[in-house]
Amino acid sequence: MAAVHERIAARTLTPGSRLPSIREFAQCLGVSKSTVVEAYERLRADGVIQSRPGAGYYVSAPLAPLSLSRTEPCRDRDIDPLWITRQSLDAAHDTLKPGCGWMPPSWMPEASLRRALRKVARSTGNALADYAPAQGLAPLRELLSHRLANISINTAAADILLTESGTQAIDLMCRCLLENGDTVLVDDPCYFNFHALLKAHGAHVISVPYTATGPDISLFENALKTHRPRLYITNSGVHNPTGATLSTDTALRVVKLAEQYDLRIVEDDIFTDFEQSPAVRLAALDGLQRVCLIGSFSKTISASIRCGFIAAPASWVEELLDLKIATSFGSGNLAAHITLAILKDGAYRKHVESLRQRLSDQRIRVAQRLATMNILPWLTPQAGLYLWCQLPNGIDAAAVARKALADHVVLAPGNAFSLSHDFSDFMRFNVTQTHDETVYQVLEAAMSDTPQNEKAQ
């Protein structure tokens, strides 16, 4: 293989030219014919050479430019809602990512993942090569229906739709419910990708401050009265980025107001396995009338296997299904089989239980360390990955994040989560990505290098 690569590099072999026959090349190099056959086959699998039946092997022509792919994201773009995601996804291997939204692989259930992959590799049905049914693998939807019953959501497998991811599920719901220019309500702060997604939909976005127990309910009512939004998108279970837990009282009022003002709700519920005891869900109180619940497993099982779902009001299912087929055809059958195998694996359950404890310990540890720098959490979350923290003296978090990035640390500045931009001195920390002392050193340096301001409003 090296000999061929050398000749191509040296232009002894140019694109389109014929390679030596297997016998000639074996003699020339003093190796066996089978060695050459294997090398040629590998080069062919790599696309470097091609064979023409009965005519031998040729250098593939013309060769694509051998540029490396972009290994680092563009650094000079504005800190918009996509900034943190792009930096986190494309970070170099040695980058620390306390601003990233997910756990490092070492916190994930790798043993269960390997077992599930081997199980599917042995399977004889249609898991390996065929499409799933249009709604997605039936036994997984049955299992999800049982899991949802545990958070008091009663839905049949027939009203659950599997998707490629939680994000795709929200996107499908938006396509189903929104027309260009419709008004959508979000929390302030909220998961930043809601902003990116709603921008793609051309929606008019408004926000209501989020409190420790849910949206500020009187401002929520005002917003419904004044702007008549078509849709409210929110996190339940564990709120992103605040770590707040919706109270039953607030949830009841949200559901009642939604009915009064003909509001639909997408409840993004991707942290359910992190909860010690399940919080109230809007979809449970509403009985899946005007609330749909979105789930996925990218935060608890694997972000590599794409699998999400929608538990939707029954009357929405047919339209969602048509839209899903039109825009992404089938959902991942392999991903669904692997997810099902893991959810049924007792070891995964044990992993989740120890994970909750580990997260709880780590939240305390990180909060204590941040407190030594006067970085204080807005509240103490009951579950999850995140600490939503305020920097001291009104320091501009975006400026700190830019500086830290130069030192290979990805941070999540507050205003990326906020429509009002009232969170310039806030940051979200992912406690599973904040174990390294370097994070604190870089943060300290970046903060001391940033002018202090009285907090604007």
Which of 22, 35, 56, 86 binds its own copies (CB under 8 A)? It is: 86
Nearer to its own copies, 216 or 275 (CB): 275
What are the C-alpha distances in Å from 293 to residues 9, 173, 265?
56, 10, 8
Nearer to its own copies, 45 or 457 (CB): 45
Tokens of 413: 């500045």
Q: Is 327 a binder of its own copies (CB under 8 A)?
A: yes
Neighbouring CB atoms inside 10 A of 362's CB total: 18
Which of 36, 79, 165, 384 binds its own copies (CB under 8 A)? It is: 165
Query: Which residues from 377-396 bind its own copies, rule CB under 8 A?
Result: none
With beta carbons less than 8 A apart as the criterion, state whether 297 and 305 touch: yes
Q: Is 9 a binder of its own copies (CB under 8 A)?
A: no
Which of 1, 3, 22, 120 binds its own copies (CB under 8 A)? It is: 120
Nearer to its own copies, 31 or 325 (CB): 325
Q: What's the min distance (Å) between Cβ of 132 and its own copies?
A: 7
Neighbouring CB atoms inside 10 A of 52's CB total: 9
Name, in order, each residue with C-beta under 8 angstroms of 348's C-beta and a sequence gap of 6 or more: 109, 112, 301, 342
Which of 130, 262, 436, 449 binds its own copies (CB under 8 A)? It is: 130
Nearer to its own copies, 249 or 353 (CB): 353
What are the C-alpha distances in Å from 49 to residues 4, 45, 261, 328?
9, 8, 65, 34
Nearer to its own copies, 349 or 369 (CB): 349
Which of 267, 268, 269, 345 binds its own copies (CB under 8 A)? It is: 345
Query: Which residues from 194-233 bind its own copies, rule CB under 8 A?
Result: 196-197, 199-200
Which of 99, 189, 241, 332 binds its own copies (CB under 8 A)? It is: 332
Q: What's the min distance (Å) between Cβ of 304 and its own copies?
A: 4
With beta carbons less than 8 A apart as the criterion, state whether 398 and 378 touch: no
Q: Is 22 a binder of its own copies (CB under 8 A)?
A: no
Query: Which residues from 64-83 bind its own copies, rule CB under 8 A?
Result: 64-65, 67-71, 73-74, 82
- Which own/partner contact pairs does 123-129 have at CB distance under 8 Å and 24+ positions apart? 123/337, 126/333, 127/333, 127/334, 127/337, 128/334
Which of 20, 155, 366, 383 binds its own copies (CB under 8 A)? It is: 155
What radius of gyration do the chain's Cα atoms show? 26
Query: Which residues from 231-270 bind its own copies, rule CB under 8 A?
Result: none
Q: Which of 177, 187, 283, 195 lies closest to 239 in space, CA to CA?
A: 187
Q: Is 167 a binder of its own copies (CB under 8 A)?
A: yes
Nearer to its own copies, 63 or 376 (CB): 63
Q: Is 50 a binder of its own copies (CB under 8 A)?
A: yes
Which of 250, 333, 390, 432 binds its own copies (CB under 8 A)? It is: 333
Specify which residues 387 forms β-bridges with: 429
- Binders of its own copies: how many residues, by CB under 8 A? 109
Q: Which of 228, 116, 244, 260 lies closest to 189 in space, CA to CA?
A: 244
Helix (H, G, I), strand (E, B) or coil at 393: helix
Q: Is 453 a binder of its own copies (CB under 8 A)?
A: no
Query: Which residues from 89-118 bind its own copies, rule CB under 8 A?
Result: 89-90, 102, 104-105, 108-110, 113-114, 117-118
The pairing of strands 426-430 and 412-413 is antiparallel
With beta carbons less than 8 A apart as the criterion, state whether 421 and 361 touch: no
The span from the CA of 205 to the CA of 324, in Å, is: 24
Name, in order, each residue with C-beta under 8 angstroms of 99's C-beta and a sequence gap of 6 or more: 84, 87, 88, 401, 410, 411, 412, 413, 427, 428, 429, 430, 433
Binding segment toward its own copies, per CB under 8 A, in 126-134, 243-251, 393-401, 427-435: 126-134
Nearer to its own copies, 73 or 237 (CB): 73
Q: Is 376 a binder of its own copies (CB under 8 A)?
A: no
